[in-house]
Amino acid sequence: MQNLIEGFLKFQREEFPKRTELFKHLATTQNPRTLFIACSDSRVVPELLTQQEPGELFVIRNAGNIVPSYGVQPGGVSASVEYAVAGLNVTDVVVCGHSDCGAMTAVATCKCLDHMPAVAGWLHHADAAKAVNEAREHASERARIDSMVRENVIAQLANLRTHPSVALAIEQGRVNLHGWVYDIETGSINALDGTTNRFIPLAENPRVTANSPRLSATV
């Protein structure tokens, strides 16, 4: 805790004064343009990866960057998606997976999670991705896990489309969907190209989106 407290004091002393006017403006309003759905993994920091200031990203984080399909009893993720799309009118939604994801590793390797039943139940929202991934041949366990990360991004984008607010925004052309996979070691991001069904380097294709429907990933 001491590190956190010292970090806060440094923020208050050094960083806050640089953004006094920004925080004064944000005190009564927010207008983020992007909903960023990421894993809770401590190595993935959306604002750092995208170099965004406070107020520019509306962030949802959970184990496995999962978006449950819309249901009769929507939970916190569904409520946050709805608020971002219908309330804040974001124009882009990013689902960002990452390398060495513990959640997707557990799914891909059928790791026993009896000691974490809540986690096991949560990861059932990745069952569609698991089914697609298990139907493929993989050169190694690492390749199996990497493929699972990509398929999960695709599955969660499909789940997003079941949310009424997202479906309406897509129909009206008000929102673009993006599927990203961040590589922790290299700092690179591959993005899903909805027209070719492939993950391609974002740095070389900055305008790529996942808007076109597709069934499964190819590399």
Known catalytic residues?
A: 39, 41, 43, 98, 101
Asked if 57 and 142 count as a contact pair (C-beta separation under 8 A), the reply is no
Tell me the backbone φ, ψ of residue 99, rounded to 5 degrees: -65, 155
Q: What is the DSSP letter of 53?
A: P
- Residues flagged as binding site: 39, 41, 98, 101
Non-local (6+) Cβ contacts of 64 within 8 A are 39, 101, 103, 104, 107, 122, 123, 125, 126, 152
- Residues flagged as binding site for Zn(2+): 39, 41, 98, 101
Q: What angle, 0 to 180 degrees and rounded to 10, lies between the N-to-C axes of helices 141-160 and 127-134?
A: 140
In angstroms, the Cα distances linking 99 to 62, 78, 142 are 15, 25, 10
Residues forming beta bridges with residue 97, ordered by sequence position: 181
Nearest to 55 by CA among 34, 32, 78, 71: 32
Q: What is the DSSP letter of 91?
A: S
CA angle 77, 82, 86 (to 5 degrees): 160
